[in-house]
């Protein structure tokens, strides 16, 4: 019996040595690979001031940034959620290529082309985009009403009308009413080159997804089926809007206390603020001839925007100020960011995700 046990042990040992020599480890010795948390990071800039200075704002999630490159210049790593740098541009065209690298060697890259000191006044006519807009504003919430969203939406719709664009509006809509407008807008968007959606009101982030909150949202059943109470804004953009170029403007991070912590703002604190939004390449490629999607948040993801003490929120007030400028929409958003940061002493930073290809989109007038 002892001889049999010894023989069996030798056989097992021989098998294990053979496995080791072939690079095969037994299950109990194998190390489980820990996947790296995805890097959610970005870089945005302000428009240059009169002396050519821009502010560079970089952000990351929980991943530590070990390298932050601007062209070949190392700006330094960081672990804070937001860092800011100032840089003076040279006169003429500046190409700013940013690379963020985290502790797991994951990278995020972004490039800007910025003119300074040589900006030419638009003297000739340019082709305004063939654009349609859906404008949604909700203030009349039973659980926590807001002062300015409907004011904001009405003003944006009026501004777009003045600029000559077709506009579909819905104010203080229920979920059914909002979905009806979205379906109508989606069908019409097939005839337009550019589709814009502007939303002002409460927004909530749950499991990394952003939802528009209608007036009939059941706050008592907030832990129930959120998909059947709110409107998933990513699905609206990817599944309903058919225009090649899509613009989404969300003044919807106004924090609201569904869980009992009442403060005056836009957004719901299941997860603070709204989540970063990127339309995936597969979603973009699914739309034939897509020129991309550009998403503008009234504040950086995970943060809370102000509802405003006047007639409009800080974001909408700045958007109304600059959207009529005869410059590319990316420059409009940079000017809006600069203005909002100035008004809020840097506490609110409008943020963009996504990118567009093709010609400039100039919404404003000559």
Q: 5-9, 184-188, 326-330 — which is least confidently predicted? A: 5-9
Question: Strand pairing partners for 57?
Answer: 44, 84
Average pLDDT, the chain: 82
Residue 142 belongs to a domain with what CATH number? 3.40.50.1460
Of 84, 116, 148, the last residue of a domain is 116
**Sheet containing 255-256: order of strands:** 231-232, 209-212, 203-206, 267-268, 255-256
**What total number of domains does the chain contain?**
2
Q: Which of 264, 318, 299 is nearest to 147 (CA)?
A: 264
Task: Give the best-scoring range by mean pLDDT among 36-50, 70-84, 148-162.
Answer: 148-162
For residue 12, with 0-12 CB atoms within 10 Å meaning exposed, 13-18 middle and 19 or more buried, which class applies? exposed
Give pLDDT tens digits for 118-139: 855 443 455 789 999 999 999 9
Q: Which helix (DSSP H) or strand (DSSP E) does residue 111 occupy? A: strand 107-116
Using the 8-state DSSP alphabet, how is residue 289 labeled? T
Which residue, chain included where needed, has tokens 């008592």?
A: 220
Distance CA 349, CA 36 (A): 28
Residue 18 confidence (pLDDT)? 46
203 with 297, same domain: the answer is yes
Residue 90 belongs to a domain with what CATH number? 2.60.40.10
92 with 141, same domain: the answer is no
Of 116, 149, 179, the last residue of a domain is 116
Residue 62 confidence (pLDDT)? 82
Q: 132-146, 237-251, 287-301, 312-326 — which is least confidently predicted? A: 287-301
60 with 202, same domain: the answer is no
> Does 192 fall in a domain?
yes
> Does 325 fall in a domain?
yes
Q: List the Cα angle 152/304/314 in 5-degree steps.
A: 35
75 with 184, same domain: the answer is no
> Does 70 fall in a domain?
yes
CB contact set of 301 (below 8 Å; sequence gap of 6+): 40, 59, 273, 274, 275, 276, 277, 351
Task: Please provide the size of the chain in residues.
Answer: 366
53 with 164, same domain: the answer is no
The yes-or-no verdict on residue 27 having pLDDT over 60 is no
Q: Which helix (DSSP H) or strand (DSSP E) does residue 315 occupy? A: helix 314-322
How many CA atoms lie less than 13 Å away from 46 in the CB half-sphere?
23
Of 57, 89, 116, the last residue of a domain is 116
Three-state SS for 318? helix
Q: Which domain holds residue 328?
A: 131-356
138 with 273, same domain: the answer is yes
103 with 143, same domain: the answer is no
Count of C-beta atoms within a 10 Å radius of residue 272: 15
- Where are the strands (E) in 89-202, listed by range? 92-102, 107-116, 131-137, 166-171, 194-200
172 with 82, same domain: the answer is no
63 with 209, same domain: the answer is no
At residue 32 the predicted structure's pLDDT band, cuts being 50, 70 and 90, is low
> Rounded to two decimals, what is the model's pTM?
0.80
Distance CA 343, CA 291 (A): 33
> Does 12 fall in a domain?
no
């Amino acid at each position: 019996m002892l001889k049999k046990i010894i023989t069996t042990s030798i056989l097992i040992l021989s098998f294990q040595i053979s496995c080791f020599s072939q690079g095969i480890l037994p299950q109990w010795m194998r190390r489980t690979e820990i996947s790296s948390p995805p890097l959610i990071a970005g870089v945005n800039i302000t428009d240059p001031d009169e002396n050519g200075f821009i502010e560079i704002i970089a952000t990351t999630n929980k991943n530590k940034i070990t390298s932050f490159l601007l062209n070949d210049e190392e700006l330094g790593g960081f672990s804070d959620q937001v860092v800011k740098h100032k840089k003076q541009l040279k006169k003429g065209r500046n190409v700013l290529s940013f690379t963020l690298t985290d502790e797991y060697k994951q990278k995020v890259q972004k490039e800007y082309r910025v003119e300074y000191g040589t900006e030419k006044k638009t003297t000739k006519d340019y082709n305004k985009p063939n654009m349609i807009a859906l404008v949604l504003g909700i203030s009349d919430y039973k659980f926590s009403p807001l002062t300015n969203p409907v004011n904001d939406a009405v003003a944006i719709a009026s501004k777009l009308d003045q600029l000559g664009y077709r506009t579909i509006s819905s104010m203080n809509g229920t979920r059914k009413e909002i979905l009806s407008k979205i379906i109508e807008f989606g069908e019409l968007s097939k005839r337009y080159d550019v589709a814009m959606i502007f939303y002002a009101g409460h927004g909530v982030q749950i499991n990394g997804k952003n939802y528009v909150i209608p007036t009939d949202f059941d706050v008592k059943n907030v832990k129930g089926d959120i998909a059947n109470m709110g409107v998933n804004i990513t699905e609206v953009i990817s599944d309903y809007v058919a225009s090649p170029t899509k613009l989404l403007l969300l003044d919807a991070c106004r924090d609201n206390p569904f869980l009992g912590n009442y403060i005056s703002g836009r957004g719901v604190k299941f997860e603070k603020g709204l989540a970063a939004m990127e339309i995936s390449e597969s979603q973009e490629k699914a739309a034939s001839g897509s020129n991309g999607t550009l998403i503008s948040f009234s504040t950086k993801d995970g943060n809370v925007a102000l509802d405003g003490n006047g007639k409009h929120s800080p974001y909408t007030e700045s958007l109304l100020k600059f959207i009529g400028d005869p410059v590319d929409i990316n420059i409009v958003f940079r000017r809006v960011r600069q203005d909002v940061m100035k008004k809020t002493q840097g506490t609110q930073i409008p943020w963009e995700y996504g990118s567009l290809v093709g010609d400039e989109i100039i919404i404003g007038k000559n």
